[in-house]
Structure 1
Amino acid sequence: MKIGVPIEIKNNENRVGMTPSGVFELTKRNHEVFVQKNAGFGSGFFDKDYIEAGATILDTIEEVYAVAEMIVKVKEPIEQEYSLIREDQVVFTYFHFASSEALTRAMIDSKSVCIAYETVEDADGSLPLLIPMSEVAGRMSIQQGAKYLEKPIRGRGVLLGGVPGVPPGKVLVLGAGVVGVQAAKMAAGLGANVTILDINMKQLRHVCDIMPKNVVTEFSSEYNIRKHIKDADLIIGGVLIKGAKAPKLITRDMLKDMRPGTVIVDVAVDQGGCFETTKATTHQDPTYIIDDVVHYCVANMPGAVPYTSTVALTNVTLPYVIKLANEGWEDACANNASLAKGLNVVKGDVVYKEIAEAFDLEYTAS
């Protein structure tokens, strides 16, 4: 199979869809890999590394899309790429369709085969290709939140860990999934007082078992959210509904109950965000302020640490890339139930129910 790896052209996205190690694994199986010039530069991988692994370097993104039977990316195609995607071409990447009707309709019109990392699902309900980036984003949410609490950036001026004689900051984490657990772990390590809310009691029991004493759990309800936002310094939104839009857990009217300079970080922004006031931002311009509350809503947080993120992502995507290349997408999905759940849009049909429901589109069972 001919596999293309283009440069990510989303704002400040420095990750790349494949490492030289991944190229080597494919070329030794007699597949051809075409990598756009400097595609890996932002992640610390150079053209010579890809050439040594057996790749062919192409100068432009147009050349990569034109030659490839399968495109392996990191982030969803943006508008400049829509016209480059061909009928029957396989695109394997994060799509997050439920947050963008324009992207969804563009991929329907392209009649390509869209396999989304974020909906590949194992038998136990886990999302193996989303987990590593959720781990990165969860940890980064505290790192970024701590920075934007500083007064020069109009935060509350709170040091999360406190100092002797001064109490530590308070962190509220919405969701006890991968993002929430990693965020709580980082915040607790800094010495903050952490409250994590979720509706899954089994998961809350697990969190209680593994977290230190400065992390407490509570059942998530609107009442409890409204109670805790009043004195939280940093609020992390880490709620996920597979393939669907995130629920709006913090509404506009709740901002008035927060103290000026409170920082909210919406890690669910890729799925539309779990704050009503969320709008996607970039690493170039990451924050905005509404009602004196600092919003950090960067839609590709792991892109700020591209080496770590690229290696972590390709560790889990490569086995699926090999399977798709060896067997073709139809046989690979027929033979692997986890991969089959990654099918979102296939040759003009929406085959993932939550996406169809998000935009009132016709759903076709795959």
Structure 2
Amino acid sequence: MTSMERVLAALSHQEPDRVPLMLLFSLYGARERQISVKDYFSDAELVIKTQLLLQEKYRSDCLYSFAYAALETEAWGGEVVFVDDGPPNSGEPLLDRLDDIPGLTLPELADSPGLLRILDITQGLKQAVGDSIPIIGVVMSPFSLPVMQLGFEPYLELLYFRPELFARLMALNSAFCVNWANAQLAAGATAICYFNPLASPTIIEKATYLKTGYPLDCQTLAKIKGPTATHLASGITLPVLDEIIASKTAMIGFSQGDDVALLKARAGNRIALLGNLNGIEMINWTTAKAREKVTSLIRQAAPGGGFLLSDSHGEIPYQVPPQVLSTITETVAEWGQYPLNGIGGDQDAS
């Protein structure tokens, strides 16, 4: 099977030849090339070549055009702070006061060099692999983006106490999200990963999310002209699983805090599962620990298809040793072949 065939089979809740391995490399490419994160992301051609190199090296079943989340706030006029060995972050908030929200205007994608660079990367990857390997684009949900636009505490004030201004910002953010997602799909992305950490009760209580963010997410997802995967970026998913399924997304990225067996049972054939290796712990894993974690996850989540193995946050950390990634690849190749080497249910894969 090609990677595309393997992923599509899993999404259809069929058992492909093996469990799809979705290693989401973004800033890890800078480590591979031994250059700064800032220099790496400034060179679209280098990112294309490195994505292809890492995909082949670790036999990942996807390519990932994502750079860093703050790229979106940069398009709104925000600043980006680069660090040597981690993801770039948003700098000072876009606005000094919530009352400045009515003065915000929707950014034009054509006016953002960073976003245009991602479109160049997406087009280059598509030219290189055609339809043989899925290309995953990324957007921030309009409900979660304000953490970077405003800062967390001002956003909580907006969410709980300023409903009219909240509605204004959400309308702008939703329009931006749809434009950005559809531009990536037009450039060659196969699907869009819809990052939405604030949908998780890890951060916002469920009742508040269902009243404020959830209707917006459903409306936004409906306007994206391609398949989507909703990712809660390490937030627990089980309490909002049914609602996310109802939003018509095809896949959910789940957390190391979720009960995998229970989530698998609750999801059934209604949605595919993506996860849930702990990227932070992965930094200190031995090869034996990596093997143990992968086999355990396959045992719990892979039977019957509907499962794609990945990390729980949506990005392989810069500090993860290459030998750990190689062990993950080798373990999936050994234990992830369907039929699952006799594992499944309560049997032990180790």
TM range, smaller chain: under 0.3
Flag the structure with larger Rg. Answer: 1
Q: TM-score, normalised by structure 1?
A: 0.27
Bigger relative contact order (CA 8 A; separation at least 6):
2
Comparing both structures, which one devotes a greater share of its residues to helix?
2
